[in-house]
Amino acid sequence: MMLDIYDFYDKMERNHILLSFKGDITSELLTSILQIMESKLENLQEEPKVKKKVYNVLVECLQNLYHHMDEVDMTASDKTRSAIFMIGKLDSRYTIITGNYIRAENVKGLDARLQEINTMTQEQLKEYYKKVLANGEMSAKGGGGLGMIDIARKTGEKLNYTFMPIDDKYSFFSLNIKIS
């Protein structure tokens, strides 16, 4: 089968994608991606305020993917370990879309957590953040469940996400974040 590269190009163009990646998420990759995005934000001459917000939310989104790699079991195939992300810009609005496999048994818990975050006002998110920061358990690498709260707080928008069942073991989790 010939891959229609123009079709990809056209879709990305029409969706105003600045950058996209599919594969293993490593620390080195994130360092490079963040450097690339920082210079893009610089070239687009964004206000420092916008630049900071986009950069901050991007760090949380991408590090979520990175930490997620540890959760998928090590015997899993490369396919289920890899992830995808796209960063787009339309007018003054940035979009960060991420996608990764998640074990079917973890869907319910994550869904409940994200739903809870989505019911909160900005003031409640601030209190919840402080509570988790002060009392929450920290994972070995320092995750600790603050990422999604922080994203909701900084963007001021509800978390927009879906789970698509793939087989009895895995679902595909996608998160669509808008920053304006």
Partner 1 sequence: MEKINIESTPKTPSINFDFEKGFLEIKGRSIPENSIEFYKPIVESLEKYGSTPSSVTTVNIQLEYFNTSSSKCILDVFKKLESIHKNGNQLVINWYYEQDDEDMLEAGEDYQAIINVPFKMIQIAE
Please report whether residue 133 would count as binding partner 1 according to CB under 8 A: yes
Q: Which stretch binds partner 1 (CB under 8 A): 83-91, 92-100, 126-134, 160-168?
A: 126-134
Name the residue nearer to partner 1 (CB basis): 35 or 160: 35
Q: Which stretch binds partner 1 (CB under 8 A): 50-58, 107-115, 160-168, 169-177?
A: 50-58
Nearest to 88 by CA among 101, 78, 97: 97
Whether residue 172 contacts residue 163, with contact meaning beta carbons closer than 8 Å, is answered with: yes
- Cα 170 to its chain centre, rounded Å, is 18
Please report whether residue 19 would count as binding partner 1 according to CB under 8 A: no
Whether residue 96 contacts residue 85, with contact meaning beta carbons closer than 8 Å, is answered with: yes
Rounded CA separation 130/64 (Å): 20
Amino acid at 58: L
Burial bucket for residue 101 (CB in 10 Å: 0-12, 13-18, 19+): buried
Query: Which one of 136, 166, 172, 180 is in contact with partner 1 (CB under 8 A)?
Result: 136
Amino acid at 4: D
Size of the site for partner 1 (CB under 8 A): 33
Whether residue 94 contacts residue 179, with contact meaning beta carbons closer than 8 Å, is answered with: yes
Name the residue nearer to partner 1 (CB basis): 129 or 163: 129
- Cα 104 to its chain centre, rounded Å, is 19
Query: Which one of 1, 6, 7, 27 is in contact with partner 1 (CB under 8 A)?
Result: 27
Q: Which stretch binds partner 1 (CB under 8 A): 9-17, 45-53, 100-108, 164-172?
A: 45-53
Binding site for partner 1 (CB under 8 A): 27, 30-31, 34-35, 48-49, 52-53, 55-56, 59-60, 63, 66-67, 126, 129-130, 133-134, 136, 138, 140-144, 146-147, 149-150, 154
